[in-house]
Amino acid sequence: MVLKLGDIEIYSYDETNEEQKHLIYTLNNDQDFLKYVTKNILERLKENLNTKDLTFNHSYLVKYQNEYVGYIRLEDLKFNGSLNIEWAVSKEYRNKKLATKIVKSISDYLLNNLKDVVKIKGVIERSNYPSRKVALNSGFFEEDRDNFYIYYTKGRK
């Protein structure tokens, strides 16, 4: 599966693709990434080996300017139209506003093209300042917080 959003492309996992394997290896050896994920990225990517369309409860790899740069996960779509999103960008592509571009592009696409998606949520640990900044710069707003997490939301306009 390939979804083109301008200069960003979303791909299903391909076990034979060496570039994708390199990105997964890079993320799995990135301590900043590992402290915020709850499940192995490769396990998540293998959940959707045979999907031909963008689907919920699946993970994808992100390509920008012919390079695999990140990962995105779409959780289950809730009955109220709420969808959780998770993202990561490889260390070498951080601090370039690329994560913001990716999250904004995919969230805008989902809200504008999938009628069942009414709002998108990001649950971000309080200590994850870079992801909090990405959420705000991608059009999300802080909806709630507790002792550990901040809950960001972006809805249909």
Q: Domain holding 146: CATH number?
A: 3.40.630.30
Whole-number pLDDT of residue 5: 93
Q: What's the pLDDT band for 27 if we cut at 50, 70, 90? A: confident
Averaged pLDDT for residues 45-71:
84
Distance of CA 22 to the CA centre of its chain: 18
Count of domains observed in the chain: 1
Residue 136 neighbours by CB under 8 Å, 6+ apart: 142, 152
Q: What's the CA gap between 57 and 103, in Å, rounded? A: 17
- Give the tens place of pLDDT for each residue, 30-52: 887 877 776 677 788 877 666 66
Whole-number pLDDT of residue 62: 95
Task: Return the DSSP state at 130.
Answer: H
* Domain interval for residue 79: 2-155
- pTM here? 0.89
Q: What's the pLDDT band for 8 if we cut at 50, 70, 90? A: very high
Kindly calculate the radius of gyration of the chain based on its CA atoms and give it in whole angstroms: 15
Average the pLDDT over each of 39-53, 58-72, 80-94, 125-139 and give the range with the smallest value. Answer: 39-53
